[in-house]
Structure 1
Amino acid sequence: MLELLNQLDGFDSRGDVKVVMATNRIETLDPALIRPGRIDRKIEFPLPDEKTKRRIFNIHTSKMTLAEDVNFEDLVMAKDDLSGADIKAICTEAGLMALRERRMKVTAEDFRKSKDNVLYRKKEGMPEGLYL
């Protein structure tokens, strides 16, 4: 961490070097890294609204064969702070659950279990990605 801070502070102000950083959990970053003057701009992408969540689910499930019982409204309407990355992880994990059980269709239960798994890992602070 100290080396990163030294490198960031070592750049002169000619503007030849651009550093781009991204995180899903800004609250876990060391305050020394995000102090004023070290990072010029912070761009925040808020959590998606219900319409956007619905669209993200549709995008990530467009090539999946879904069972008749799948209804995204319950997932969309839940107040659980899902980001776009969380929704993608839920869809991917639900598809993998169906594949592991050698099923051709992804069920509502697959999505429910995947959501529980993703939210548990998110709450526990485990690394994000595919939640197996």
Structure 2
Amino acid sequence: MSIDIRMTGPLFDGRAERAMEQACDDALDDLGAYAEERVLMGTSAHFKTRTPYYETRITTDRVSDEEALVHDQGVIYGPWLEGVGSRNYPATRFKGYGHWRAAKQAVAVRGPQVADAAVRRRLPEMGG
């Protein structure tokens, strides 16, 4: 008597692993886009006179396979707008808008849901 066992499917032929890597990449991209969107929502809500320069400088870059960076490309008055510059409260009464802090908090709260949605989109490829 002999038994013939064949292991087939996404788990055994590498499709599940590739789909999981893609899901992680998708989650990182989605989280970066969500963070950028929240920063831009903060600027549009707070800026009385909107000029496109600062808002067009806000971008998301992939720093590594595991990290995305949302930044304002070093705009000189960016820290002042946020309220963390050396010329804020002691020098002027302007305390900043806090749009970056608000975006960070929003990502901390909603980030797991955004990442979960990215993984769920790839589940069929993983065989789930």
More strand by share: 2
State if a TM-score over 0.5 links the two structures: no
Does 1 or 2 have the higher relative contact order (CA < 8 Å, sep 6+)?
2
More helix by share: 2
Asked which structure has the greater CA Rg, the reply is 2
**Under a length normalisation based on structure 2, what TM-score does the superposition of the two structures give?**
0.26
